[in-house]
Amino acid sequence: MTLTKKEIVLKIAQETGVRQVDVKKVVQKTLDTIIDALAKGDKVELRNFGVFKVKSRKPKIGRNPRTGVTVPVPQRKVAVFKPGRVMKQRLKA
């Protein structure tokens, strides 16, 4: 099952009694803030949840599976997430 942003907003609105429009603004602003921080190269640490950070992947030589031709894959930056202790413990259960 996939949980969407809309479903998260609905769940928070139902549990808190806050209007969906207001919850959506807060959720979207939270996500935008995380993205902006990662774009600047900052690390985002949410205690008991996890850490988001940007890592650089080294350039490498790839292969087109259809043609078998080798192609260079340039260095790139990717967002990575490392779950926190509380999340790890809850996922084990």
Same domain, 52 and 84: yes
Residue-wise pLDDT for 18-77, tens only, equals 999 999 999 999 999 999 999 999 999 999 899 999 999 999 999 999 999 999 999 999
Whether 89 and 83 have beta carbons less than 8 Å apart is answered as no
| Residue-level pLDDT at 31 | 97
Same domain, 37 and 53: no
Distance CA 77, CA 62 (A): 17
Q: What is the DSSP letter of 27?
A: H
Q: What residues pair up with 70 in beta bridges, in sequence order?
A: 63
pTM above 0.85, yes or no: no
The number of domains in the chain is 2
Closest CA to 86 of 46, 43, 31, 35: 46
Pull the structure tokens for residue 18: 């806050």
Same domain, 73 and 91: yes
Distance CA 10, CA 82 (A): 26
